[in-house]
Structure 1
Amino acid sequence: MKFLAITLIVHRPDPVTGVQKPTHDRFREVLDNAVLAEELGFDGFGVGERHERPFISSAPTVVLSHIAALTRRIRLFTAVTTLSLLDPVRAYEDYATLDHLADGRLDLIIGKGNGAAQRELFQVTPEDQWDRNAESYEVFRRLWRQDKVTADTRFRPPLKDAEAWPRPYQQPVRVWHGSATSKESVDLAARYGDPLFSANVTHPIEPYAELIRYYRERWEHHGHDPADIAVGAGSAGLYVAPTSQQALEVYRPVSESNLAFQKRTGLPVVFETLEDFVERSSALIGSPQQVIDKVHRYHERFGHTVQHVQADASGLTGSRHRASLELFQSEVAPVLRKDIPDPPFPWAPVLPEPAQE
């Protein structure tokens, strides 16, 4: 099993202290967390893309380019690239450039993105967002693979023998499809034989397990080998402590503040108590053995081979956040790496075969 640390770069007051860091400091924190993730042995670091409050992750290629310069081994992920909002030609240019700068360490997770403010900003409607996502991906995919592209597009000017530069480093880049609650992303992933990444953060396990089951069905419908399926899954929170009692005691103020925020802002409350959140959500909160057991329980339903955890402290003190990540890597990850297989492809740059002499 592989492990990613992911941030959406939320920028709002700390759930416990109420203090909001300056924007500059929040970005520095993201960079520090990426370096820490590589230091501790995580396999990937992901940066989201959002174009509305309370996020400041509107330019993931810029952030990931800086992280690429600070790291050497860890793979870099987008989480997610909101292709329904983007011109696929411009997106290709940005990510092809980033992939060169990162020496082929880039993976993309794409999705339509969420939020009415984002749609209004880019003049995307609920009715056309999925068609935009599919068209953008199809054009992006062809640009990465072909030197010249002709496409009769609906949502941007048509392309005729279009060239996009630079030509890519990885051939091709691996693209995962982010899925939360809708079958459209799942269908697109299965059609092209691409891996799926389940958001798995808001609800109990059932709706996510159903979408992954549907993905497997559609994968086989399109004639792909079931042995080639790769599924990733998110988690709703992380705090690993030596004992379950310590974990609950430390995380309770964070949970209570998040619950109050949900109620105050009118967000749906799915888990009413910390105990319910720990038991029924995907949050990895508890002793090392409790976290291992929960990942196993989800793996039985999902068959996932990649797991993401939160890169941000999210209400924990810096020292507690680091201690949690260290304990995760020293006592949780080694067991899960042994028990659960890796994805069915190399965790390395996707480079063309060398020419035969």
Structure 2
Amino acid sequence: MRFLAITLIVHRPDPVTGVRTSTYDRFREVLDSAVLAEELGFDGFGVGERHERPFLSSAPAVVLSHVAALTRRIRLFTAVTTLSLLDPVRAYEDYATLDHLSGGRLDLMVGKGNGAAQRELFQVTPEDQWERNAESYEVFRRIWRQDRVTADTRFRPPLTDAEVWPRPYQRPVRVWHGSATSKESVDLAARYGDPLFSANVTHPMEPYAELVRHYRERWEHYGRDPADIAVGAGSAGLCVTSTSQEALDLYRPVFESNLAFYREAGLPVVFETLEDFVARSSALIGSPEQVIDKVHRYHEQFGHSVLHVPADAGGLPGNRHRDSLELFQSEVAPVLRRDIPDPPFPWAPVLAAPGPVAGPLPAPVPADR
């Protein structure tokens, strides 16, 4: 099994202290989290994409390029690239550049995205967002594989024998399809033989497990070998401590503050108590043994080989969040790596272009030196 640390770069007051950092400091926290994830042995670091409050993740290619300069090994993920909002040509240019700068460490998760404010910002409607997502992905996929592309598109100017630069480093980049609620994303992934990543963070297990089952059915419908399936899954929170009671005591202020925030914002509340949240959500809160058991229970339903956990403290004291990540890597991850297989493909650049791999660019010198 492989493990990712992921951030959506939420920028709102700390759910416990009420203090909100500056935008500059919030970005520094993200960079520090990425460096820490590599130091602790995580396999990937992901940055989401949102174009509305309270997120600062509108430019994941830029953030991940900086992360690439500060790290050497960890793979870089988008979570997710909202192709329904983007010009696929421009998206390709950004991510092909990032892939070269990182030495072929890029994995993409793509999806339609959600949120009324960002749909309005990009003039995308609920009625056409799925068609936009599918068209953008198909064009993006072809550009990555073909030197010249002709495409009769609906949602951007058509392409006629078009060249797009730079040409790719990975041939091709691996693309995961993010899925939260819809069978459209699941079917798109199965149709093209791409891996699936279940959001798995808002509701109990069953609706997500149903989508994963549908993905497997559609995979076989398209004549593909079930042995080639790869599924990833998210987690709604992380707090690993030596005992379950300590984890509950530590996480309770975070949960209660988030619950108050959801109610004040008029957002749906799925889990009314911390105990219900720990029992029925994908949150990994408890002792190492409890967390291992929970991942196994989810694996029985999902068959997933990649798991993401929150990169951000999310209201936990910073040192306690680091302790939790360290305990996860020292006592949880080794057991899961032993018990659950890796994805059915190498965790490495995909068919990298010929020639020596020089590695990413050196880290920039801080401005105050």
Q: TM-score normalized by structure 2?
A: 0.96
Which residue of structure 1 aligns with residue 99 of structure 2? 99
The within-5 A match list for 1:65-76 is 65-76=65-76
Which residue of structure 2 aligns with residue 222 of structure 1? 222
1:279 aligns with 2:245: no
For residues 89 and 353 of structure 2, the distance between their equivalents in structure 1, rounded to whole angstroms, comes to 26
1:77 aligns with 2:77: yes
Matched letter for residue 178 of structure 1: G
Which residue of structure 2 aligns with residue 193 of structure 1? 193
Which residue of structure 2 aligns with residue 60 of structure 1? 60
The C-alpha deviation readout for 1:332-352, integer Å capped at 9, x for no partner, is: 000000000000000000125
For residues 135 and 209 of structure 1, the distance between their equivalents in structure 2, rounded to whole angstroms, comes to 27
Matched letter for residue 77 of structure 2: F
The within-5 A match list for 1:132-171 is 132-171=132-171
2:44–2:77 CA contact under 8 A, matched in 1? yes
Which residue of structure 2 aligns with residue 111 of structure 1? 111
The within-5 A match list for 1:195-214 is 195-214=195-214
For residues 252 and 352 of structure 1, the distance between their equivalents in structure 2, rounded to whole angstroms, comes to 46
The C-alpha deviation readout for 1:52-105, integer Å capped at 9, x for no partner, is: 000010000000000000000000000000000000000000000000000000
2:88–2:137 CA contact under 8 A, matched in 1? yes
1:292 aligns with 2:292: yes
Which residue of structure 1 aligns with residue 5 of structure 2? 5
Matched letter for residue 263 of structure 2: K
SS at match of 2:84: helix
SS at match of 1:191: helix
Structure 2 unmatched runs, 5+:
356-369
For residues 222 and 111 of structure 2, the distance between their equivalents in structure 1, rounded to whole angstroms, comes to 21
The within-5 A match list for 1:331-342 is 331-342=331-342
Matched letter for residue 279 of structure 1: A
Residue 249 of structure 1: CA displacement? 0.4
Identity %, equivalent residues: 86
For residues 264 and 343 of structure 1, the distance between their equivalents in structure 2, rounded to whole angstroms, comes to 41
Matched letter for residue 104 of structure 2: G
The C-alpha deviation readout for 1:8-42, integer Å capped at 9, x for no partner, is: 00000000000000000000000000000000000
SS at match of 1:77: strand
2:169–2:352 CA contact under 8 A, matched in 1? no
Which residue of structure 2 aligns with residue 183 of structure 1? 183
Matched letter for residue 175 of structure 2: V
1:16 aligns with 2:13: no
Matched letter for residue 331 of structure 1: E
Which residue of structure 2 aligns with residue 32 of structure 1? 32
SS at match of 1:343: coil
Which residue of structure 2 aligns with residue 268 of structure 1? 268
Matched letter for residue 96 of structure 1: A
For residues 266 and 353 of structure 2, the distance between their equivalents in structure 1, rounded to whole angstroms, comes to 53
Which residue of structure 2 aligns with residue 351 of structure 1? 351
Which residue of structure 1 aligns with residue 242 of structure 2? 242
For residues 179 and 336 of structure 1, the distance between their equivalents in structure 2, rounded to whole angstroms, comes to 23
Instruction: From the superposition, tell whether residues 10 and 352 of structure 1 become closer, same or farther in structure 2 (CA, over 3 Å).
Output: closer
Matched letter for residue 302 of structure 1: F
Matched letter for residue 252 of structure 2: R
Number of aligned residues: 355
Q: TM-score normalized by structure 1?
A: 0.99
2:204–2:281 CA contact under 8 A, matched in 1? yes
SS at match of 1:178: strand
Which residue of structure 1 aligns with residue 362 of structure 2? none
SS at match of 1:76: strand
Which residue of structure 2 aligns with residue 44 of structure 1? 44
2:169–2:353 CA contact under 8 A, matched in 1? no
For residues 230 and 190 of structure 2, the distance between their equivalents in structure 1, rounded to whole angstroms, comes to 11
SS at match of 1:224: coil
2:104–2:352 CA contact under 8 A, matched in 1? no
Matched letter for residue 9 of structure 1: I
Residue 310 of structure 1: CA displacement? 0.1
Which residue of structure 1 aligns with residue 365 of structure 2? none
2:170–2:353 CA contact under 8 A, matched in 1? no
For residues 120 and 264 of structure 1, the distance between their equivalents in structure 2, rounded to whole angstroms, comes to 23
SS at match of 1:85: coil
Residue 180 of structure 1: CA displacement? 0.1
Which residue of structure 1 aligns with residue 311 of structure 2? 311
SS at match of 2:164: coil
2:89–2:140 CA contact under 8 A, matched in 1? yes
Matched letter for residue 223 of structure 1: G
2:171–2:353 CA contact under 8 A, matched in 1? no
